Amino acid sequence: MAAASPAPSADVLLAALAGRVRALRTARGLTLQQLARQARLSARFLLQVEQGETNISVRKLVGLATALDTTPAALLAPPDAAAGTPGLPVIALLGLRGAGKSTIGRRLARRLRVPFVELDRAVEDAAGLSLAEVFALHGEGYYRRLEHTALERILGEGRPLVLATGGGLPTRPETYALLRAQALTVWLRATPEDHWNRVVQQGDRRPMADQPGAMAELRRLLAAREPLYEEAEAKVDTSRLGVERATATIERVVREHQRRPRA
């Protein structure tokens, strides 16, 4: 019987924790002070964590993991199990607003024990502006350039995560090609009615404000983008399955992807 591998030392685990916290904070565009506030830690203590120079209590570890949209176990995993299950890809969720990318993405990330990242939030962090301000002040072209740069940075980190993309990303061929080459892409398909109702349920009534033809426009937009979304590696009907079953279905797709032989 082969001897069991020795358990990693505390120093090794703390170094792995430090690297993961820094990487996750950077991916979310958070400053040290912002993450410290969200995790209810002092900035000084968080700096020590990121330098691997201090132990951390279970209570503080839970708060830090919650602020980073991950789990304490994932943060403390030994280096050879970094960022969750070995072999997991980046899972990129596609679809128009209201497809369920954020809701399903967060649930999927928790099940897979990997971070959840919204590409639009990364764009906002890079610009120092809200999306509405980016479009109003600089236009769509500027937004698309930031989107591509943010995607390159996230994919370049080489770690598994669940990524919610903007609804229009597939319309930029260069960006979509980059995503499909380096991520497992999943289209969250939904009916126009469900897209509409989910946005309204989120408290946003702008789709119907002074736009009597808004539903017809939504149908046209969805029809125009369907051929692009169809290029995703997997398609999941969130209208038919609902949140829980759609999440479980995507997890099965991810596990099957892991089992495929690599070239």
Q: Mind giving me the DSSP string for 86-99?
A: TT--EEEEE-STTS
* Per-residue pLDDT at 97: 84
Kindly report whether the global pTM for this prediction surpasses the value 0.95: no
Ranges for all domains in the chain classified under CATH 1.10.260.40 = 10-80
Percent of the chain exceeding pLDDT 70 equals 85
Beta-carbon count within 10 A of 42 CB: 12
* Per-residue pLDDT at 202: 64
Ranges for all domains in the chain classified under CATH 3.40.50.300 = 90-259
Say which range, 114-128, 154-168, 193-207, 236-250, has the weakest mean pLDDT. Answer: 193-207
Say which range, 12-16, 56-60, 216-220, 222-226, has the weakest mean pLDDT. Answer: 12-16
* Per-residue pLDDT at 263: 52
As a whole number of angstroms, the distance between CA 62 and CA 12 comes to 19
126 burial via Cβ count (<10 Å: 0-12, 13-18, 19+): middle
Band (pLDDT 50/70/90 cuts) for residue 80 is very low
Q: What is the CATH number of domain 10-80?
A: 1.10.260.40
As a whole number of angstroms, the distance between CA 46 and CA 22 comes to 10
Question: What does the mean pLDDT of the chain come to?
Answer: 83
Query: Looking at domain 90-259, what is its CATH homologous superfamily?
Result: P-loop containing nucleotide triphosphate hydrolases (3.40.50.300)
